[in-house]
Amino acid sequence: MAMKIDLRAPNWMPDDELRQELLSMMPEADIYTADDPGDADQVNMLVINRLTPGEHRLYPNLQVIQKTGAGVETILADTTLPASIEVTRLSTPAAAPEMAEYSLAYVLQEQRHLRLYQQQQKVGLWQEKKPRIASETCVGIMGLGRIGQVIAERFLLNDFKVCSWSRTQKQMAGVDCFSGEEGLRHALAKSDYVIVVLPVTPDTTELFSYPVFQHFKPGSHLINVGRGELVNEPDLMRALDEGLLAGAVLDVVSEEPLPSDNPLWMHPGVQISPHISGYHLGDAMQDIVENYRRLLAGEPRINVIDRQLGY
Ligand code: NDP
């Protein structure tokens, strides 16, 4: 029985660094890496950041694929992955509050017209614009899961009105919760800021396309911290050009890194950051140790993905 780490993300985290961290928590474990591949027959848990289609075939006794993040769409995209292989993700103890902070930063920037004042400073223009009041502003959170709930809490603490949209009907104190197709329209109609923190699934891929942008409140802003694939980017630019919404903040895009000639870079209504809203993993690596311990003990794993739902 062995775990294999194959992140292929040396700038973010070298495999051996993760191995040392995990060994400090479970010194008795057998942990292979790409550079120290061990015996593939022994591997029962694969720790990855990305999965190459068919890669599971290298490990005949593989039981669990553990993602070193929250989004598992690239793993589930492997149509050859047997149903018997469990897919698990990390919890987001550090990333969720960071994503709330990121969203709040952009919302406050708009509320207080800070981008406008930067432009005015460049030409020495002293001209005031009335700030928007938080308690009269509604933030709509698309996806009220682990991260969405933390974002909702942060906006409530800052006096904003908050509504949400999720697959199943939720209840959260202070949050106007919607679900289902009609619920999406209601949530969008109320929202001055639409924060997208959904997983990519067959139901949510390019959900934010032209017909949905037609339900955005005029003057509203989109903030996408979920995944680029949730948004149809040409439709977004068209909707911005037509004034269906006022601006978009994209921490994630459909092609990362975003090529330098992609029109999103130059669009005046779009602000882009390089997928950094949820940056730190915090204590989330303990989930890997816990899942490996559970696998060896024959206990149910934590953070298991529902393969049917896709998240
Ligand atoms: P969760 O699984 O905890 O929550 C997902 C939420 O989305 C739930 O509220 C769920 O509804 C809702 N949802 C799923 N499918 C639908 C649907 N078809 N219609 C409406 N709502 C739906 O995920 P997390 O909050 O932990 O993470 C969300 C995503 O954030 C991840 O999948 C990942 O892609 C992204 N992410 C981005 C990061 C970044 O740095 N930019 C960092 C970390 C994550 P219900 O509650 O009813 O199940």
Question: Annotated catalytic, 186?
Answer: no
Q: What is the pLDDT of residues 35-62, one digit of tens each?
A: 999 999 999 999 999 999 999 999 999 9
Q: What is the pLDDT of residues 207-249, one digit of tens each?
A: 999 999 999 999 999 999 999 999 999 999 999 999 999 999 9
Average pLDDT over residues 251-276: 98
Which residue has the least CA distance to atom 34 on ligand 1? 71
Instruction: Output the CA 30–ligand 1 centroid distance in Å.
Output: 33
Which residue has the least CA distance to atom 12 on ligand 1? 143
Instruction: Output the CA 198–ligand 1 centroid distance in Å.
Output: 4
Instruction: Please tell me the distance from the alpha carbon of residue 4 to that of residue 7, in angstroms, as a whole number.
Output: 10
Instruction: Output the CA 267–ligand 1 centroid distance in Å.
Output: 27
pLDDT of residue 232: 98
Residues at CB less than 6 angstroms from ligand 1? 70-71, 92, 95, 143-148, 165-168, 170, 197-199, 201, 203-204, 225-227, 251-252, 275, 277-278, 311
Instruction: Output the CA 199–ligand 1 centroid distance in Å.
Output: 4
β-pair partners for 250: 224, 272
Which of 197, 281, 309 gets mutated to test ligand 1 (max ligand atoms within 8 A of its CB)? 197
Single out the residue of 78, 45, 75 nearest to residue 59, CA to CA.
Answer: 45
pLDDT of residue 107: 99
Largest CA distance in the chain: 70
For residue 12, pLDDT over 90 is answered with no
Question: Annotated catalytic, 227?
Answer: yes
Task: Exactly one of 19, 221, 227, 267 is catalytic; name it.
Answer: 227
β-pair partners for 188: none
Instruction: Please tell me the distance from the alpha carbon of residue 172 to that of residue 178, in angstroms, as a whole number.
Output: 11
Q: What is the pLDDT of residues 14-35, one digit of tens each?
A: 999 999 999 999 999 999 999 9
